[in-house]
């Protein structure tokens, strides 16, 4: 379970979020799976992180953020789409929101499982 959590958390989700969003924007289409996919990712990784130390959760999410920033620099142009915060700021924002969501799901899943036992 810990290996599954590690693999899923190291996926640069913040990069993929903006890569998909920007690609749909360029094609002038909606991004229908963006919200559902993001929520599903946060719920699954948050649930899997319930047995992981909080420091490890934050550390691995920070590594994922750095990977996302590097990938965004190379694959997503920094044009007017990311105003006023810029491409990097947008990626950091999504990564932080994702981390907070994971931590909330982690707390909720721990409480629910403790009440069952």
Q: Report pLDDT digits (tens) over 25-63.
A: 889 999 889 999 999 999 999 999 999 999 999 999 999
Distances (CA, A) of 15 to 47, 71, 100, 117: 22, 7, 17, 38
User: For 75-113, what is each residue's pLDDT tens digit?
Assistant: 999 887 788 899 999 999 999 999 999 999 999 998 887
- Residue closest to 99 by CA, chosen among 9, 5, 6, 4: 9
Q: Is 61 exposed, middle or buried (0-12, 13-18, 19+ CB in 10 A)?
A: buried
Strand, coil or helix: 67: helix
Q: For position 117, what pLDDT does the model report?
A: 61
Global confidence as pTM: 0.91
CA 20 remoteness from chain centre: 13
């Amino acid at each position: 379970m810990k290996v599954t959590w590690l693999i899923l958390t190291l996926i640069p989700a913040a990069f993929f979020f903006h890569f998909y969003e920007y690609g749909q924007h360029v094609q002038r289409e909606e991004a229908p799976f963006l919200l559902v996919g993001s929520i599903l990712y946060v719920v699954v990784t948050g649930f899997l992180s319930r047995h992981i130390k909080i420091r490890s959760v934050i550390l691995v999410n920070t590594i994922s953020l750095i990977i996302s920033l590097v990938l965004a620099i190379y694959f997503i142009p920094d044009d007017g789409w990311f105003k006023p915060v810029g491409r990097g700021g947008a990626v950091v924002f999504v990564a932080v929101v994702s981390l907070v969501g994971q931590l909330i799901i982690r707390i909720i899943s721990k409480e629910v499982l403790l009440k069952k036992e």
